[in-house]
Amino acid sequence: MKKHILDMTQVSHPYPETTMFGAVKAAADRFPKGPALDFMGKITTYSTLIRKIEQAAEAFYKAGIRRDDVVTICTPNIPQAIVCIYALNRIGAISSVIHPLSSQSNIAYYLDYSESKMVLTLDNFYEKVKAAVAETKRDIGIIVARIQEELNPVLAVGYTIKSGKAYMKFPEKGHGILWNDFVKTGWGIKLPPVRYDKEKTAVILYSGGTSGTPKGICLSDFGFNALGMQVGEVCGCNLTCGAKFLSVMPLFHGFGLGIGIHTILENGAECILIPQFTKETYAQAVLKKKPNLIAGVPTLYEALLNVDIFKDADLSFLAGVFCGGDALPIDLKKRCDQFFKDHNANVQIREGYGLTETVNAACLTPIDTAKEGSIGLPLRDMEFKVVEPGTFNEKPAGELGEIIISGPTLMLGYMKNEEENEKTLRYDKNGTKWLFTGDLGCIDEEGYVYYKQRIKRMIVSSGYNVYPAQIEKVLDRHPDVDYSCAIGIKDAYKMQKVRAYIVLKNGVPETTEEKMKILEYCKKYLDVIERPREIVFRKELPRTLVGKVAYRVLEEEAAEEENNK
C-alpha cells in the first residue's frame, strides 16, 4: 500500500518531554507579552497566565492537594477552569473534567468514581454541585467561580446587574469558597519542583456514550503535548504568537481541551474563549474577533450556514476550518466550502477523526487534496490499520474492517477498568501498542482513511450487513430532509429491518405523501436490503452532550415500544 503523510507547514521536532504546564510555560517564556486568553474582551497575557497558574497551584498545595490527587472541574469554558487545570498539573495532581450540565446524580457518580478531593464549579451550578457532593457522603471541598471575576470592570458591573441576582453571590458558609478568595490562601507557599513522568495520568476525560456507564479515560502529559505539535504542523497557518483560535468546543471533550486549549497554548497562540454557544453569539464572535482558525462539529456548521449576520460578511481572515466529533455529510461539506468561497475565505472545511482515547485528532484531511468521503491522512507518527474486528489480521486496501491506531497520543487506559483495557489496548508481536477503536472503516491505496460507523451499530437484516451511516448519507441529501438517523428494529422474518427517523426542513409537511416521496427517492440510491421499511418524522432528534445524534436513545425507545406491544 502506498503510504502518504500530511504535508508539514514547519519542520517536525521531537515532542516535548515535559508536563502540560511545562509546555505552556515554555510558550510563555517565548512570548511573555503575547495574548493567551481572550474572555469577553479581557485579554490575559502569557506572563499573567503563568502567574495565575502558580498562584492557584500554591492554593491547592496549601489545601492539601498532592501528586495524583484528583480535582473535578465542572464549568464551561472560563479562564478560571483553564488556570485550574494547569495549576493542578503544576503540582502533579489530576484534573477530572466533566460537563457542567450533567445531572446531580451523574456529578455525584463522577466525584465518587474519580475519588475527587475538591471540585471547581460556576456559581449558577453551585446548588446542584453542593447536592451532588452531599450525595457522595464524602468530604469534598467546593470552589466557586463567577463570570464577573474575569470581566473588564465595566462589563463586570453590567453582568452583575443583569445576571448576578439569578445565582448565589457567595457560597453558603461552610460549603465552599469563591475562586478569588481561594487563590489568595496560598500566598507564601513554596511549591515542589515540576516532576514529569511520561506514564502518569494528567487529565481524566470521559467517554461520551449515550447509554451505559461512562468510562474514565486517563490521558498523559506526553499525549497532550504530542497532539499540540502534530496539529500545529498541519493547521494551515503559522500557529504561534499572533494566531487566534475560537475555542467553542467544551473543556470536557478532547476536542475542546486537547485542540481548543492546549494545542493553542502550547504553540503560543491565542484562545478566544466562548463560555456558552448559540449560533448567533458564535457568528458574532467570528466577525468581531476575526480568528484565523475555527473548529466544531457538523451541527455547528449547519447552524452557521443559516445565520443572517454572515450574509455579506468578509471571512478572508480564516486560514483553517476544521470539523470533527461526528461524520461530516458530503453535502454539508460542499455547501460549507462554497459558503467560505463566497465570503472570500481561501479555505475548505477539513474533516478530522479521532477519539478521546487518542486525546483527539489522529487523522486530518490535507489542505488541498481532500477525497470525497475520506477523513484524511494520519497525523505525524500516527499509524492506522484496518483489521478483522478484534484481531491483528490486516484487511486489503478498500475492504471494510475495524480501525486500529498506534501513536504517541494513545491513552494510558481506562480508569479502574482492566477488562475494557484488555479489549481496547493490545500489543502486537513487535510490542507495539494499538488502540482497537470499535469503528468500522477502510484505507485506500494511497493511505486515505474512510470512517463508516461504529461496529456495534451495524444492522443485520436477512443475514446481510446494513450500515446506518450509508443510509443517513442518502437521506440527508434529499432536498426536504434536514437530518436523519437510521436504526434497526425487530422483524419476525428479517430479524431486523431499517427504521429511519427524519427531521424535515422548515415548511415541509409531515405527511404520508412526503414519506412515499422519500421512499421512492431511496430506491434510486439504496439496495433493497438497505431501504427503510418505516419512516418516523420528528421535530428534532436526541443529541449527545457533544451534539451527535443519540442513536442509542432511539434504539432504546424502539425496544421499549416492542416490549409494550
pLDDT in tens, 109-139: 999 999 999 999 999 899 999 999 999 999 9
pLDDT at 164: 52
Q: Measured between alpha carbons, how far is 204 from 462 in angstroms, rounded to an integer? A: 42
> Of 396, 487, 492, whose CA–CA distance to 444 is shortest?
396
Q: How would you class 276 by CB atoms within 10 Å of its CB: exposed for 0-12, middle for 13-18, buried for 19 or more? A: exposed
Give mean pLDDT, residues 346-353: 92
pLDDT at 386: 97
Q: Measured between alpha carbons, how far is 225 from 14 in angstroms, rounded to an integer? A: 10
pTM summary value: 0.83
Strand ranges inside 117-189, DSSP E: 118-122, 141-145, 177-178
Cross-strand bridge partners of residue 484: 502
pLDDT in tens, 484-517: 999 999 886 677 899 999 999 999 999 999 999 9
Task: Report the CATH number at residue 522.
Answer: 3.30.300.30
How far is C-alpha 406 from the chain's CA centre?
20
279 within some domain: no
Give the best-scoring range by mean pLDDT among 161-175, 318-332, 434-448.
Answer: 434-448
Range of the domain at 472: 458-563
How far is C-alpha 280 from the chain's CA centre?
21
**Contact assessment for residue 182 and residue 158, using Cβ atoms and an 8 Å cutoff:** no
512 within some domain: yes
Q: Measured between alpha carbons, how far is 240 from 30 in angstroms, rounded to an integer? A: 10
506 within some domain: yes
pLDDT at 281: 86
535 within some domain: yes
228 within some domain: no
Looking at the 3D structure of the chain, how many domains does it have? 1
pLDDT in tens, 211-231: 346 789 999 999 999 999 999
CA atoms within 13 A on the CB side of 182: 30
550 within some domain: yes
User: Over 70: is that where the pLDDT of 157 sits?
Assistant: no
pLDDT band at residue 4, thresholds of 50, 70 and 90? very low
473 within some domain: yes
29 within some domain: no
pLDDT in tens, 425-445: 999 999 999 999 989 999 999
Which residues are CB-contacts of 428 (< 8 A; sequence separation ≥ 6)? 392, 434
Give mean pLDDT, residues 1-10: 42
| C-alpha cell at position 161 | 446587574
